[in-house]
Amino acid sequence: MHPRLTSVALPIAGFVLLVAVGAVAPRLADVLNLALPFFGLILVGYICGRLWDIPESGLAWMNAFIVYVALPALFYNLIAATPIGELANWRFILITTSCTALAYAYGFGVGWFASGGQLEQATIQGVAGGYSNVGYMGPGLTLAALGPQSVVPTALIFVFDSTLFFTLVPILMSLSAGNKASAGETARLVAWRVLTHPFNIATGLAIASAATQIHPPVPVEKLLTYLQNAAAPCALFVMGVTVAQRPISRIYPEMPVLLLVKLILHPLMVWVAMSLLGDFGRVWTFTAVLMAALPPALNVFVMASQYNVYVERASSIIMAGTIISVVTVTGLLFLIAVGGVSYRLFGN
């Protein structure tokens, strides 16, 4: 068999097997019917990326469409229709962002030990341990699993988690021995990345719209709806292609520990914290847990490439995490949808 066909045969066989399991196991059918189309879009992208020798630069315009147009339209449409009071849940923001920061700290500690105290490598390894794929995977999964009520907690987690990493990584990198940037240059870089990120801009406009009840004209609303509907399919397809073009070269010693932090410890910390520190309701709690359970973000590779450190390993950990998350995220969805698990781990 041609090597390219061989590389896609196993994932296709696994997908077909899971479809068959759903057909004969009624208790699993609902979860697989939810999860398989979602991961199937990633699989389609992966197959295309393996079968066709198209340069990675060909993804540039599609990435631009997703990041600057489709996903901002999704966030704007759903947040603008939300009562303004729901957007100021600072206790929820503090808990989820603190758990993300703690997951980052664990990942940083693993990286510091594994790299022999190299700050630049530990910084990126911390990102791999704490930064979920909240942009490309988050909105599609939470909306499919928990419905429109999940969009506000999804957006809040995205905005504040992204702000955390856009702030933390440049600051830590500026402290490394090889970085010549001044404190002022670092501060300007942080402010620029936070204020100009299209998701943050869209969220700000949506909050203003929700507060003033001023909405776009009907033609613009319809255009935003078209763009919103394209967001998740395009993002997941591109993710699959990206994973296919960056195969795992080898299993590095720190990878299993970082993936344990990202896929297991991070969502468990969120679940425990939200159970102990209040009653946020089923949708908000499980949205936060699902977002934390996602594999490492593609931004891990972007940041590694930007600073030219840990690039090959960042690529490998994203692919490995995405593959493993098919099992871990589907298992979590089973607990939520079928297993009858309460959203609060402690008390009623």
- Report the alpha-carbon distance of residue 271 to residue 314 in Å, rounded: 27
pLDDT at 4 over 80: no
State the alpha helices, DSSP H only, in 25-89.
Answer: 26-51, 60-65, 71-80
Provide the whole-model pTM: 0.83
Q: What is the mean pLDDT of residues 216-231?
A: 87
> Does residue 151 have a pLDDT over 60?
yes
pLDDT at 193 over 90: no
* 271 has pLDDT over 90: yes
pLDDT mean over 6-15? 79
Q: At what angle do helices 3-24 and 26-51 cross, to 10 degrees?
A: 170
Model confidence at 177: pLDDT above 60 = no
**What's residue 16's pLDDT?**
85
Q: What is residue 181's predicted lDDT score, i.e. its pLDDT?
A: 60
Does pLDDT of 266 surpass 90? yes
Q: How confident is the model over 323-345, as pLDDT tens digits?
A: 888 889 988 988 887 767 888 88
CA dihedral 240, 241, 245, 246 (to 10 degrees): -30
From CA 136, how far away is CA 187, in angstroms rounded? 27
Percent of the chain beyond pLDDT 70? 94
Q: How confident is the model at residue 179 (pLDDT cuts 50, 70, 90)?
A: low
Quick: pLDDT tens for 197-211: 787 788 888 888 888
